[in-house]
């Protein structure tokens, strides 16, 4: 057990890089400890990407399988050049268009980061976050920071400091609490070593946005086909799961109401994950949680993980969830929902 310090920090404060909370967290990183910090996607659990010992601590605290590589967070292009051998013109175009922001690039590794970060692969995943606290921490520590989401492996990703505290209190040195994160789902991971580039994980930057920037974009077939392993090792794992068994119901409201009626005969406590538009449609359910407005899918992405964690507190036996269009950010929302449901869909 270690004592987990919590440093509150206002993301809008001036000169964050020199704020005492950031300096304290950066000192922990310099000592090889690991700390959680907010990014614009979700909270990350950071350690020195060049130090095997720190990276091991990240895997250990999360209970993360060691074959699932980590994303390295940087604040400058110089840091990218230090850890990658080559930034070709398409990768450069993505950097110019989307960084800092929720896009991760898989690039050829120079072997500068620990083997534990890349899980032995010849490539490394790199991202430049836009969140002021994340940027300040990277600059103050002057380190490339390896950081997966700051949750126990398999749980919904954390979008608030108390989510991190719930999962990792006692196993990490500290948490920078900068309030709620913005996007709410993780970064899009793009493999830049293929022609055309390949989406390995849908996320905060949509396929449509990528196509607009660089033209051709492929999608890893392993993302949707069960007979093919995904190219991002992490995509094969169970993830984001609430404690109750969750089911996706594409047919929507009426079908969900039928299912609730059936479950009520069996005396089970039923939760429904819905949207503002449908909040009054399930009077029979025990718990109805709204994750956002269907007409504004960004609000759904923003609240999704918080709502999934909320169901645990409500102690429901089963969750029935509405589904969403896969346009834009909808693809990332449906990817996370489908994993949270362990692939269970009721036709």
Annotated binding site: 41, 64, 68, 73, 123, 127, 147, 149, 157, 187, 201, 240
Tokens coding 163: 């989510």
Q: Which of 21, 39, 114, 149 binds ligand AMP (CB under 6 A)?
A: 149
Enclosing H/E stretch for 7? strand 5-8
**C-alpha 151 chain-centroid distance:** 9
- C-alpha distances out from residue 199 to 28, 111, 329, Å: 34, 23, 14
Out of 4, 52, 68, 209, the only residue in the binding site for ligand AMP (CB under 6 A) is 68
Q: How many Å apart are CA 217 and CA 211, to the nearest integer?
A: 6
Of the residues 47, 69, 108, 158, which one makes contact with ligand AMP according to CB under 6 A: 69
With binding defined as CB under 5 A, does residue 149 bind Mg ion? Answer: yes
In the complex with ligand AMP, which residue's Cβ is closer, 302 or 336? Answer: 336
188 binds Mg ion (CB under 5 A): no
Rule CB under 6 A: is residue 128 a binding residue for ligand AMP? no
Cα 248–chain centre separation: 20
Residues 221-240 that bind ligand AMP (CB under 6 A): 231-235
For residue 201, the partner it binds in Mg ion, ligand AMP, none, with Cβ less than 5 to 8 A by kind, is: ligand AMP
- Binding-site partner at residue 69 among Mg ion, ligand AMP, none, CB < 5 to 8 Å by type: ligand AMP
State how far the alpha carbon of 167 is from the alpha carbons of 85, 103, 261, 286, 314, in Å.
Answer: 36, 25, 34, 26, 17
Q: What share of the chain is helix, strand, coil (3-state, %, to 5)?
A: 35, 20, 45
Report if residue 323 touches ligand AMP, rule: CB under 6 A: no
Q: Does 199 bind ligand AMP (CB under 6 A)?
A: no
- Binding residues for ATP, as ranges, are 64, 123, 149, 157, 201, 240
Q: How far is the CB of 7 from ligand AMP (least distance, A)?
A: 22
In angstroms, how far apart are the furthest CA atoms of the chain?
62
* Angle value at C-alpha 199, between 119 and 330, nearest 5 degrees: 120
d(CA 305, CA 101): 20
Which chain residues interact with ligand AMP by CB under 6 A? Answer: 68-71, 106, 118, 121, 123-125, 148-149, 186, 189, 200-201, 231-235
Which chain residues interact with Mg ion by CB under 5 A? Answer: 149
């Amino acid at each position: 057990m270690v004592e987990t310090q919590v440093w509150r920090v206002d993301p809008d404060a001036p000169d964050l890089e020199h704020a005492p909370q950031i300096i304290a967290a950066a000192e922990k990183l310099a000592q090889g400890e690991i700390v959680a910090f907010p990014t614009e996607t979700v909270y990350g659990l950071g350690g020195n990407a060049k130090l095997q010992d720190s990276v091991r601590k990240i895997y250990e605290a999360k209970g993360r399988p060691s074959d699932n590589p980590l994303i390295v967070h940087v604040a400058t292009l110089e840091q990218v050049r230090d850890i990658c051998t080559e930034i070709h013109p398409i990768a450069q175009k993505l950097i110019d268009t989307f960084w800092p922001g929720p896009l991760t690039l898989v690039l050829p590794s120079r072997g500068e980061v620990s083997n534990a970060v890349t899980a032995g692969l010849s490539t490394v995943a790199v991202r430049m976050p836009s969140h002021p606290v994340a940027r300040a921490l990277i600059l103050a520590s002057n380190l490339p920071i390896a950081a997966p989401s700051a949750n126990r492996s398999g749980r919904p990703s954390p979008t608030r400091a108390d989510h991190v505290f719930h999962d990792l209190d006692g196993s990490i040195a500290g948490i920078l609490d900068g309030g709620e994160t913005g996007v709410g789902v993780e970064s899009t991971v793009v493999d830049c070593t293929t022609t055309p580039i390949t989406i390995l994980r849908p996320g905060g930057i949509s396929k449509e946005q990528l196509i607009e920037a660089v033209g051709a974009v492929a999608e890893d077939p392993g993302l949707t086909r069960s007979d093919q392993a995904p190219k991002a090792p992490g995509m094969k794992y169970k993830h984001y799961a609430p404690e109750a068994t969750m089911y996706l119901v594409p047919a929507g409201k009426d079908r969900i109401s039928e299912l609730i009626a059936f479950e009520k005969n069996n005396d089970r406590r039923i939760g429904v994950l819905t949207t503002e538009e449908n909040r009054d449609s399930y009077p029979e359910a025990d718990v109805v949680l709204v994750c956002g407005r269907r007409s504004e899918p960004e609000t759904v992405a923003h609240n999704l993980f918080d709502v999934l964690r909320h169901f645990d507190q409500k102690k429901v036996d089963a969750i029935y969830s509405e589904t969403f269009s896969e346009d834009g950010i909808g693809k990332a929302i449906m990817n996370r929902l489908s994993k949270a449901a362990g692939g269970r869909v009721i036709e």
